[in-house]
Amino acid sequence: MGLFQDPSGRILVSRRAADAHLGGLWEFPGGKFATGESAGAALKREVWEELGVRVLAATRILTLGHRYSDRSVRLHVFRIARWAGRPESREGQALRWVARDELATLPFPAASRAIVTAARLPAIYLISPDPGSHSEIARCLGQVDRALGRGGLHLLQVRAPSLDRQVFLQYARGLMEVAHAHAAETLVNAPQAWLDALPPAGWHLTERRMNALSSRPDREGWLAASVHDRGSLDRAMALPVDFVVLGPVRPTQTHPGAEPLGMAGLAGLCANAGCPVFALGGMIPSDLLAARALGAQGIAAIRGILND
């Protein structure tokens, strides 16, 4: 399956025929493998047959398995970076270019949940700096405000592990106000009980908090997790979370003792990921294209974005 995005950020979707399996639901362009065909070759053939478009560059970003009551499917999802031709319906299917936020309002098959998430998420995930003390809150709020004000940032993790509950909640409220002013979504990295004292937001799980859960919590907003290896990535996908932050890819001040994955390690873990992956650890905006070429959704960072 392929994710097409036009210059204005809209995503191409098509509607399944009423008499097909899961008829009437929306989906992303693509189809079934032919005998002996690779995933990349199948994508190019199906897109040409369905849309009359030649795929020139594509990167696999998700590998998904799903069991319906009557069948099982395995989906290989590609972000299509370049193509030739204008998509048009060659098989009678309805086609639409839709805004990313509108995707959440359309009915998709259950197997497409992670694809819709990947299409809706931005490419950069900003993580808030840790003030360390109450006296530094104003400075950190100013840093985040300036970063969001430059544009292009729409997702913020509220994180400050050094702060106690009362000071953290004050900082979190300030960050959420700044994010709202810049039309950015927020996830809070804190104990679940602390979130109940804040306005509705997503929840970013540490690996320890993720491991303490037996099922996905019933909360508003995005659910994300920090992971470091194949085992923790698999646990996150099983919960399931909406996306993960994977690292450290390079040495970082936040996790000084952790063994870096390197870009090769990032690529290996992205290869079979069933949810979007943000690369963390020494990432800066100029790393974005390389990370996405390896299958990542994008990059996550604190200093690398705030200091850009």
Q: What is the CATH number of the domain that holds 55?
A: 3.90.79.10
Same domain? For 137 and 49 the reply is no
Report how many domains make up the chain.
2
Between 256 and 28, the higher pLDDT residue: 28
Core vs surface per residue 40-65: b (16+ CB within 10 A) or e: eebbbbbbeebbebebeebbbbbbbe
Asked if residue 60 belongs to a domain, the reply is yes
Is residue 214 predicted with pLDDT exceeding 90? yes
Same domain? For 136 and 259 the reply is yes
**CA pair distance 236, 223, nearest whole angstrom:** 10
List, for residues 112-151, the tens digit of each pLDDT value: 999 999 999 999 999 999 999 999 999 999 999 999 999 9
**Single pTM value for the model:** 0.92
**CA pair distance 218, 224, nearest whole angstrom:** 13
Asked if residue 133 belongs to a domain, the reply is yes
Same domain? For 217 and 254 the reply is yes
DSSP secondary structure string for all residues of 161-176: TTS-HHHHHHHHHHHH
List, for residues 260-303, the tens digit of each pLDDT value: 999 999 999 998 899 999 999 999 999 999 999 999 999 999 99
Same domain? For 162 and 290 the reply is yes
